[in-house]
Structure 1
Amino acid sequence: MRVISNQILEIFQPKIEKSTILPFIKEGISAGFPSPADDFLDLSIDLNQELIKHPSTTFYGRVRGDSMINAGLNDGDLLIIDKSLEPSNNKIAVCFIDGEFTVKRIAIAKDKIWLVAENEKYQPILVTEDNDFMIWGIVTTVIKNVM
């Protein structure tokens, strides 16, 4: 576990040794008028297959802190991070900087990399050659607990 810019990430790799098949409502769930969905519960979905495209390079991380709240990443959210994806401008990435993990939006401009928080309380971080820096992986999915 590392801390930077009021952000803590617990990083761990999923164990995808077996499938977890759950009931799935394929037709969607109405946010307006209720619809009879019992007929669709015979279908199933495996969230590992649905959300993890590259199991050997995929990790989970739990967000701690508030530096990315305006991007919809809240304290306690679970991130799915893929290390095989190429970083590009405006992607949300888990970065390793000066011995600590952080999650920020990356901004690439004229051979400079900025780590941009999505909360006005935090200033962007300019990555310089003095920093020990690596873009560790790209956030592909955010899983939220609504309770």
Structure 2
Amino acid sequence: MSITFLGPLQEGGAQLPFYSFKVPAGFPSPAADHIERQISLDQLLDIRAPHVYLVRIEGSSMEGAGIYDGDLAVVDRSITAEHGHIVIAAVNSEPVCKRLCKQGTQIVLKSENAGFPPRYILEGDELIIWGVVTFSVRSHDPKA
């Protein structure tokens, strides 16, 4: 698995309508009187904050967590990584996206796909946590 750093967003961002009803399995025609308020996805995802950056995920090792090949991950550097967080890290300078597990003094980076073994951090390994994944965004456009 590899990661492509996309960096912070440029200034701007459009306000989008947020409808007060939940959409079942289809998309009923939304009437203007159902608009609850205008929202901004960059505000909702906090992606304009200086401590937040975006990466593109490559590989299938995190599919069990709902993170798929090609997804964008929103990563927050200000969150202290704890047991159970999904993190962007570097193990011996190799970037990875894994679930952080602490078992006593042992640190393990676990995949969320049974086809990928856990990565135990051994004495002599260099582990640097670059941030905690807070959101992932997936395109459903078959042309993308």
User: Shorter chain as normaliser: what TM range?
Assistant: 0.7 to 0.9
Listed as ranges, the matches of 1:91-106 within 5 Å are 91-106=85-100
Q: Which of 23, 27, 40 pairs up with 1:30? A: 23
Amino acid at match of 1:121: G
The residue matched to 1:131 in structure 2 has which SS? coil
The question of 1:20 aligning with 2:14 is answered yes
TM-score between both structures, scaled by the size of structure 2: 0.87
Query: Matches of 2:90 and 2:41 in 1, distance apart?
Result: 28
Query: Matches of 2:8 and 2:30 in 1, distance apart?
Result: 31
Identity of aligned residues (%): 26
Query: Matches of 2:57 and 2:67 in 1, distance apart?
Result: 7
TM-score between both structures, scaled by the size of structure 1: 0.86
Amino acid at match of 2:126: D
Listed as ranges, the matches of 1:117-136 within 5 Å are 117-136=111-130
The question of 1:65 aligning with 2:63 is answered no
Amino acid at match of 1:46: S
Q: Show structure 2 runs of 5+ residues with no match.
A: none
Query: Matches of 2:105 and 2:31 in 1, distance apart?
Result: 55
RMSD: 2.0
Query: Matches of 1:103 and 1:51 in 2, distance apart?
Result: 19
Contact 1:16–1:55 at 8 Å: present in 2 too?
A: no
Amino acid at match of 2:61: S
Query: Matches of 1:82 and 1:114 in 2, distance apart?
Result: 20
